[in-house]
């Protein structure tokens, strides 16, 4: 259905945002549901985030998905927030209601959805997270909710890493960026929550020989699907998981929140996205 002047409008914002596949996911579901709706990308710089988001809300937009670098700012902007969003300190979903802007975090569920096929015994997991932004906050919170207690955080800005630990996991070990290879020793769940490896950017290069085969490497990036982080991890015998399933998992509650419509049951969305990317 071609959107009309009465279309429900929602979108995704980040800076940059051209890499986002959220519009592709939402377009498939909108078409399958046969609803009059439009989902668009909005590249918004940090200095204009508040004013543009408030403007979209005032113009009748239903809401926004939020990605780098705005997830923490999204929570601060909202009048109300879900308990998970407040616990994480970041939001990836803003819905615009007559009562104001509401923040939520569906990255938590999306991340666990992506890890599910790996059959990880979370109580025995020794996790290492690279990054300390909004995505890292959601993933750390998610790991704690499923029983992971041994977590280390490695970030270029050690102050931000310390702040993340203080807010969510005071017992987490803080690793200086220059010691990232040493930090791999004994870890069996390694997570890239940085933008390193995003299309056009330098990848995260690690000494994967320090990690035993069979461990799990997860990269929140999905453009490209095969980042340097995952290619190198896979070559060392690790289970490598890209960010596509996290994208799909977090998008489902967003679609329902924006369009008040259940997500259509489609054939494998992952296959559709890989075809869109020209991977398969």
Predicted local distance difference test score (pLDDT) of residue 83: 96
Told to judge if 123 belongs to the known catalytic residues of this protein, a careful annotator would answer no
Q: How many residues does the chain have?
A: 280
Strand order in the sheet with 63-66: 37-43, 8-14, 63-66, 93-97, 100-104, 80-81
Average pLDDT, the chain: 95
Q: How far apart are CA 17 and CA 23, in angstroms?
A: 10
* High-pLDDT (> 70) share of the chain, %: 99
**pTM here?**
0.90
Ranges 37-41, 65-69, 149-153: which has the least confidence: 65-69
Q: How far apart are CA 32 and CA 41, in angstroms?
A: 20
Q: How far apart are CA 251 and CA 93, in angstroms?
A: 9
Residue 143 has pLDDT above 60, yes or no: yes
List, by residue range, all CATH 3.40.50.720 domains of the chain.
Answer: 109-242
Predicted local distance difference test score (pLDDT) of residue 57: 98
Rounded alpha-carbon distances, angstroms, from residue 199 to 18, 54, 196, 202, 212? 10, 30, 9, 8, 28
Predicted local distance difference test score (pLDDT) of residue 19: 87
**Cβ pair 113, 246 in contact under 8 A:** yes
Predicted local distance difference test score (pLDDT) of residue 201: 84
Q: What is the mean pLDDT of residues 124-133?
A: 97
pLDDT tens digits for 91-124? 999 999 999 999 999 999 999 999 999 999 999 9
DSSP 154: E
Predicted local distance difference test score (pLDDT) of residue 200: 75
Local confidence band at 233 (pLDDT 50, 70, 90 cut-offs): very high
Predicted local distance difference test score (pLDDT) of residue 119: 96
Predicted local distance difference test score (pLDDT) of residue 266: 77
Q: How far is CA 232 from the centre of its chain?
A: 21
Residue 272 has pLDDT above 70, yes or no: yes
The CATH H-level (homologous superfamily) assignment of domain 109-242 is NAD(P)-binding Rossmann-like Domain (3.40.50.720)
* E strand map for 61-171: 63-66, 80-81, 93-97, 100-104, 126-130, 150-155
List, by residue range, all CATH 3.40.50.10860 domains of the chain.
Answer: 8-105+247-277
pLDDT tens digits for 8-64? 999 999 999 998 999 999 999 999 999 999 999 999 999 999 999 999 999 999 999
Residue 181 has pLDDT above 60, yes or no: yes
**Domain 8-105+247-277, CATH:** 3.40.50.10860
DSSP 226: S
Q: How far apart are CA 106 and CA 108, in angstroms?
A: 5
Catalytic residue from among 71, 123, 124, 275: 71
Q: How far apart are CA 193 and CA 133, in angstroms?
A: 8
Residue 280 has pLDDT above 70, yes or no: no
Angle, helices 269-277/22-33, rounded to nearest 10 degrees: 130
């Amino acid at each position: 259905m071609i959107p009309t002047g009465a279309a429900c409008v929602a979108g995704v914002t980040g800076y940059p945002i051209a890499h986002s596949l959220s519009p592709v996911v939402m377009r498939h579901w909108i078409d399958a549901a046969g609803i009059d709706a439009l989902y668009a990308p909005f590249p918004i710089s940090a200095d204009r985030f508040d004013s543009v988001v408030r403007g979209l809300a005032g113009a009748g937009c239903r809401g926004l998905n939020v990605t780098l670098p705005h997830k923490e700012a999204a929570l601060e902007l909202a009048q109300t927030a879900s308990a998970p969003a407040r616990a994480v300190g970041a939001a990836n979903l803003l819905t615009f209601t007559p009562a104001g802007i509401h923040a939520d975090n569906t990255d938590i569920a999306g991340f666990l959805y992506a890890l599910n096929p790996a059959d990880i015994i979370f109580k025995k997991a020794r996790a290492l997270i690279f990054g300390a932004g909004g995505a890292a906050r959601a993933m750390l919170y998610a790991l704690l909710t499923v029983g992971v207690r041994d977590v280390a955080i490695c970030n270029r800005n050690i102050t931000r890493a310390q702040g993340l630990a203080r807010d969510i996991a005071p017992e987490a070990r803080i690793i200086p960026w220059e010691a990232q290879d040493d930090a791999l020793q004994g870890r069996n769940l390694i997570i890239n929550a940085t933008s390193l490896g995003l299309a056009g950017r330098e990848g995260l290069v690690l000494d994967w020989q320090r990690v035993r085969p069979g461990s799990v490497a997860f990269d929140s990036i999905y453009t490209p699907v095969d980042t340097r982080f995952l290619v190198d991890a896979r070559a060392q015998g690790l289970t490598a998981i890209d960010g596509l399933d996290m994208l799909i998992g977090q998008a489902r509650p967003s679609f329902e929140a924006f369009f008040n419509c259940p997500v259509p049951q489609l054939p494998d969305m992952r296959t559709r996205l890989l075809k869109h990317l020209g991977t398969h």
